[in-house]
Amino acid sequence: MKNQTLTKTSIKHQPSGQFEETRFEKIHNIVFANSVNGSICVAQEIADLIKSKQVKNELCILGLATGSSPIKVYEELVRMHNEEGLSFKNVVTFNLDEYYPMDKSSVHSYYYFMHQHLFNHIDIDPENINIPSGTISTEELHQYCIDYDLKIKEYGGLDFQLLGIGRTGHIGFNEPGSHYNSGTRSITLDHLTRVDAATSFLGIDKVPKKAITMGIGTVKKAKRIILLAWGHNKASIVKKTIEGDITPDVPASYLQEHNNVTFILNDEASQELTRIKTPWLVGPCIWSDQLISKAIVWLCDLTKKSILKLTDKDYNDNGMSSLLVQEGSAYDINIKMFNKLQHTITGWPGGKPDADDSSRPERANPHKKRVLIFSPHPDDDVISMGGTFDRLVEQGHEVHIAYQTSGNIAVSDHEALKYAEVIKDMTPNDAEIDLVIKGLNSKKGDIEDVIEVRKLKGLIRKRESFAATRFLGVPDKNVHFLNLPFYETGTIKKNPISKVDIDIVADLISETKPHQIYAAGDLADPHGTHKVCLDAIFAALEKLKPNGYMDDCWVWLYRGAWHEWDIDQIDMAVPMSPDQVLRKRRAIFYHQSQKDGVMFQGNDTREFWVRAEERNNETAVKYHQLGLADYAALEAFKRYYY
């Protein structure tokens, strides 16, 4: 059952691997359209459990997780407490893990996390909260862990365990190699886990190397287990866990042996499951145009053939005979697919004047379009669509750029100090710059910057942006810095999107009245700035839709620095010559504060310009392998219909 807001009873565990559509799967799982719907259902199940225990005058023993995955479940539980009177008086909690060593008061501690997201907002008795202590001495640690398990046992075991999953396949911090009957213990964190935590710790060096975690054995004894996984970057480990063999290399795979576990996924996290990625291998499917494209790209990859070389046998041998029945012969399907892909390619992203546009991605008219490019951070425009941006300006369109956030937290302190000292040398009596220098020099640890420092960091990014937009030929008056308020917290954690953010975006659209909008379509990123920026645009489009001028506005989504559209999702592919690739590189280079060991590198060690070039080249290579022309690079876009 896919893409639905399921009712509370429908997330009940069912045996998996017994039916045609799940025969590859060994763990019951439900896919939701988004993480909010999924989280609400999970919170409802927890609330029902708490209430059923209340009726019987019993304690409800919950095992809880931290990390980004359960945040919305906790939000919903807090809402139920505030608005529906859900009480936690009969609840006892045991958290899965804590970094070691780690002080309770640190913003990085799981103690802090749990209080910030849940415990401070509900009526749980503080005595009933159990979180492994990150300050226990090494001598006491062994016994402490044994006692943690014993305490759970004394309460009669966990009634319910909430889990997330790490990209290593860890549950709790049971990293690869963990034994299936392990108890609570101290462990060494996997490098990948530390890389994933590096952003919130502001650098991998600051991520602790060890942790205390409940064991696999402890978790597996829970009467009911729900594991949450959201987002594209969980898709591959989710597939290994659900479909692969039970192995210590993927500790979460031990859950295959539990008889009451459900994985709650969103669309992106489910993408690698066989029944979703290649449904034709599982059973009969409805061949939509989108599915046909997806299947053909997959078949070409599997057979190492270009589209026009695929034969009836290739289709038949690989679960696609029903497509042959529907569409005729391989020859017919191949030609249709080849033309479809061919028609995505255009050197005229703003439409080709005076040309037949019936099979082009963009309209020919009006010849000169007003174009509004939204860039979540001040460099996403050039990183993700620098070549297309360049062509749009060169082809005479009125191009506007809107930088949605200041991007100030991504400027390092030493970069800011360099600028501050130059300003100080030029204007020794400037009181504000004294505050900046003082703020930077007295900063200890990863506390948030004082307002003057944030201002300077934002200005550095602003000036870098102007350098790039001027290089590409955009007049300064067409460059808009929106400084959306949701971003301005001075820390990684941002405020929720508000009406003010949406209005700022909507006002710019209604002032500009664009024929084309470009936006970063990182739909897979569940919490990040790109997703919030996109939500602000979608909300603004919804608001402006009744205005007549919006009928003439097409929206194109590019992908940010992190990943690219799949070939079958691409509606417009803009080629770049080797020279244009170099121009794009230069435009990215103007964003100097984001070069050479940047603060928010993510889990990809390549610099942004390298990622962009390699990705655009990969798209070009894929098109070529499918039998289309051989370009140096292609930028890809998907049209968004609102």
Active site residues: 175
Contact status: 187 vs ligand F6R (CB under 6 A): no
Closest CB to ligand F6R among residues 269, 537: 269
Contact status: 96 vs ligand F6R (CB under 6 A): yes
Report the C-alpha gap between 625 and 384 in whole angstroms.
23
Closest CB to ligand F6R among residues 252, 540: 252
Task: Give the list of residues 6+ apart from residue 307 with CB closer than 8 angstroms, or none.
Answer: 296, 300, 334, 337, 338, 341, 626, 627
- Which residue is nearest to ligand F6R, using beta carbons? 164
Closest CB to ligand F6R among residues 235, 310: 235
Whether residue 299 contacts residue 627, with contact meaning beta carbons closer than 8 Å, is answered with no
Contacts of the segment 329-338: beta carbons below 8 A, 24+ positions apart = 333/292, 333/296, 334/296, 334/307, 334/308, 334/310, 335/308, 337/292, 337/293, 337/296, 337/307, 338/307, 338/308, 338/626, 338/627, 338/628
Which residue in 173, 486, 590, 608 binds ligand F6R (CB under 6 A)? 173
Which residue from 65, 102, 73 is spatially nearest to 201, judged by alpha carbons?
Answer: 102
Contact status: 185 vs ligand F6R (CB under 6 A): no
Tokens of 193: 């886990």
Contact status: 171 vs ligand F6R (CB under 6 A): yes
Contact status: 250 vs ligand F6R (CB under 6 A): no
Which amino acid does the sequence have at 482? L
Could you tell me the end-to-end alpha-carbon distance of the chain, in angstroms, rounded to an integer? 25
Q: In the chain, count of helices (H) and strands (E)?
A: 20, 17
Closest CB to ligand F6R among residues 165, 550: 165
Q: Kindly provide the residue ranges of all beta strands, DSSP E only, lying in 218-347, ordered along the sequence.
A: 225-229, 261-266
Distance in Å, CB of 111 to ligand F6R, minimum: 12
Distance in Å, CB of 445 to ligand F6R, minimum: 22
Contact status: 65 vs ligand F6R (CB under 6 A): yes
Distance in Å, CB of 448 to ligand F6R, minimum: 21
**DSSP one-letter code for 528:** S
Selected range binding ligand F6R among 39-47, 61-69, 492-500, 626-634, rule: CB under 6 A: 61-69
Closest CB to ligand F6R among residues 117, 515: 117
Distance in Å, CB of 233 to ligand F6R, minimum: 8
Name the β-bridge partners of 573: 345, 636
Which residue in 132, 166, 386, 514 binds ligand F6R (CB under 6 A)? 166
Selected range binding ligand F6R among 51-59, 169-177, 240-248, 509-517, rule: CB under 6 A: 169-177
Contact status: 387 vs ligand F6R (CB under 6 A): no
Selected range binding ligand F6R among 170-178, 401-409, 421-429, 471-479, rule: CB under 6 A: 170-178
Which helix (H) or strand (E) segment holds residue 573: the answer is strand 572-576
Contact status: 208 vs ligand F6R (CB under 6 A): no
Distance in Å, CB of 604 to ligand F6R, minimum: 17
Contact status: 267 vs ligand F6R (CB under 6 A): no
Which residue in 63, 169, 172, 378 binds ligand F6R (CB under 6 A)? 172
Selected range binding ligand F6R among 12-20, 41-49, 59-67, 510-518, rule: CB under 6 A: 59-67
Contact status: 164 vs ligand F6R (CB under 6 A): yes
Task: Give the list of residues 6+ apart from residue 89 with CB closer than 8 angstroms, or none.
Answer: 123, 124, 125
Whether residue 1 contacts residue 249, with contact meaning beta carbons closer than 8 Å, is answered with no
Distance in Å, CB of 200 to ligand F6R, minimum: 9
Distance in Å, CB of 251 to ligand F6R, minimum: 10
Which residue from 182, 202, 178, 179 is spatially nearest to 190, judged by alpha carbons?
Answer: 178
Distance in Å, CB of 177 to ligand F6R, minimum: 15
Contact status: 66 vs ligand F6R (CB under 6 A): yes
Closest CB to ligand F6R among residues 171, 261: 171
Which residue in 69, 293, 334, 594 binds ligand F6R (CB under 6 A)? 69
Report the C-alpha gap between 341 and 627 in whole angstroms.
10
Closest CB to ligand F6R among residues 117, 170: 170
Which residue in 25, 76, 97, 159 binds ligand F6R (CB under 6 A)? 97
What's CA 327's distance to the chain center, in Å?
Answer: 36
Report the C-alpha gap between 164 and 75 in whole angstroms.
16
Q: How many residues lie near ligand F6R (CB under 6 A)? A: 14
Closest CB to ligand F6R among residues 170, 530: 170
Report the C-alpha gap between 122 and 226 in whole angstroms.
22
Which helix (H) or strand (E) segment holds residue 585: the answer is helix 578-589
Half-sphere exposure of 20 (CA within 13 A, CB side): 7
Whether residue 504 contacts residue 482, with contact meaning beta carbons closer than 8 Å, is answered with yes
Name the β-bridge partners of 558: 520
Selected range binding ligand F6R among 66-74, 217-225, 437-445, 588-596, rule: CB under 6 A: 66-74
Contact status: 68 vs ligand F6R (CB under 6 A): yes
Residues of the shown chain interacting with ligand F6R in the complex, contacts defined by CB under 6 A: 65-69, 96-97, 164-166, 170-173
